[in-house]
Amino acid sequence: MYFECINCNTSVDPHISMSICDDCSYPLTIRNNDAALMSKTLKIVTLGEGGSKLISLTKASQLIGVSKIYAKLENSNPTGSFKDRGSAIMISAIKSAGINTIVEDSSGNAGASVAAYSAVAGITSHIFIPENAPKAKIDQISIYGAKIHKIPGHRDNAEKEAKQFALDRNFLYASHNINPFFLEGTKSFSREVAMELGSNLPDHIVIPVGNGSLLISTYLLLNELWQSGSLNKLPKLYAIQSEAVKPIVSQVHGISWSVTQKKNTCADGIASTNPPRMRQILDAIRETKGDSVSVTEDSIIKYRNLIAEQEGIFMEPTSAVSFAGLESLVHNKRIKSSDSVLIPITGSGLKSIV
Residues 293 to 322 in contact with Zn ion, rule: CB under 5 A: none
Contact flag: residue 178 with Zn ion (CB under 5 A): no
**CA pair distance 164, 76, nearest whole angstrom:** 34
- In the list 3, 4, 5, 187, the residue contacting Zn ion (rule: CB under 5 A) is 5
Q: 190 and 218 in contact (C-beta within 8 Å)? A: yes
Q: 21 and 279 in contact (C-beta within 8 Å)? A: no
Q: How far is the CB of 6 from Zn ion (least distance, A)?
A: 8
Cα-based torsion angle of the residue sequence 302, 304, 308, 314 in order, rounded to the nearest 10 degrees: -170
Of 12 and 47, which CB lies nearer to Zn ion in the complex structure? 12
Sheet with 101-105, strands from edge to edge, namely: 147-151, 124-130, 101-105, 172-173
Chain length of the chain: 354
Q: 190 and 222 in contact (C-beta within 8 Å)? A: yes
Contact flag: residue 8 with Zn ion (CB under 5 A): yes
Of 279 and 334, which CB lies nearer to Zn ion in the complex structure? 279
Site string for Zn ion, 26-45 (x = CB under 5 A): x-------------------
Of 24 and 35, which CB lies nearer to Zn ion in the complex structure? 24
H, E, C per residue of 55-69: EECHHHHHHHCCCEE
Three-state DSSP at 90 gives: helix
Interacting span for Zn ion (CB under 5 A) from 4-12, 59-67, 171-179, 247-255: 4-12
Could you tell me how many residues of this chain bind Zn ion (CB under 5 A)? 7
Interacting span for Zn ion (CB under 5 A) from 8-16, 73-81, 264-272, 324-332: 8-16
**CA pair distance 182, 350, nearest whole angstrom:** 24
Q: 205 and 235 in contact (C-beta within 8 Å)? A: yes
Of 24 and 255, which CB lies nearer to Zn ion in the complex structure? 24
Q: How far is the CB of 223 from Zn ion (least distance, A)?
A: 20
Of 18 and 54, which CB lies nearer to Zn ion in the complex structure? 18
Residues 47 to 76 in contact with Zn ion, rule: CB under 5 A: none
- In the list 16, 20, 21, 136, the residue contacting Zn ion (rule: CB under 5 A) is 21
Of 15 and 263, which CB lies nearer to Zn ion in the complex structure? 15
Interacting span for Zn ion (CB under 5 A) from 18-26, 143-151, 205-213, 318-326: 18-26
Q: How far is the CB of 276 from Zn ion (least distance, A)?
A: 12
Q: How far is the CB of 280 from Zn ion (least distance, A)?
A: 12
Q: 268 and 107 in contact (C-beta within 8 Å)? A: yes
Return all residues near 280 (Cβ < 8 A) that are at least 6 apart. Answer: 6, 29, 212, 216, 219
**Bridge-based pairing state of the strands 2-5 and 29-31:** antiparallel
Contact flag: residue 22 with Zn ion (CB under 5 A): no
Q: How far is the CB of 163 from Zn ion (least distance, A)?
A: 18
**CA pair distance 169, 242, nearest whole angstrom:** 36
Which of 50-81 are b and which e, b meaning 16 or more Cβ less than 10 Å from the residue's Cβ? Answer: bebeeeebeebbebbebebbbbbbbbbbbbbb
Of 61 and 179, which CB lies nearer to Zn ion in the complex structure? 179
- In the list 15, 17, 24, 353, the residue contacting Zn ion (rule: CB under 5 A) is 24
Q: How far is the CB of 11 from Zn ion (least distance, A)?
A: 10
Q: How far is the CB of 316 from Zn ion (least distance, A)?
A: 34
Applying CB under 5 A, the residues found at the interface with Zn ion are 5, 7-8, 21, 23-24, 26
